[in-house]
Amino acid sequence: MLNTRIQHGEFVITTNGNILVARLSGSWNEEAARAFDKALREHAAELSSSPWGHMVLLDEWQLGVPEMGPIIEVLVHWCIEHGLRRAAHVYTPSLLKKLQLEDMVTESEQDFHRRAFADTDAALRWLKEEGFELATALDPLLRADDVQGTL
């Protein structure tokens, strides 16, 4: 049987220093969550030999369907088991985003802690204070023309 379900929602993932950076955009369906899960695990495997941080840029993300929640929850636990220690979510304050993210991503578990920030500078300062730092400038990731469906 042919799978006719099309991915809705995009992301870019890159590893920079000991931080895995992801930018999410669009309204996500289950297929987008599965593609993100696969790509993030591949990138995280490069970092899993030591603790790592994660910065997620969410201003362009327009939430997702309920079916994506369990996929992201399992991914979060996998990441924690594979060295994720800090996650910085960056987005303009939005109650809806806050609530959906809190449903999918634990705030604190074992040695893991998550915080939300209104701008990347504050998020990067916190990550640096916690021992996670970019090796190079983040600018190329922030350009709108870098959005890709699956990496």
Residue 75 lies in domain? 10-131
pLDDT band at residue 142, thresholds of 50, 70 and 90? Answer: low
Residue 5 falls inside a structural domain: no
> What pLDDT does residue 141 have?
53
| 14-30 per-position pLDDT tens digit | 999 999 999 999 999 99
Residue 60, domain CATH: 3.30.750.24
DSSP per-residue string spanning the chain: ---------EEEEEEETTEEEEEEEEEE-HHHHHHHHHHHHHHHHTTTTS-EEEEEEEEEEEEE-TTHHHHHHHHHHHHHHTTEEEEEEE-S--HHHHHHHHHHS-SEETTEEEEEESSHHHHHHHHHHTT---SS-SHHHHSGGG-BS--
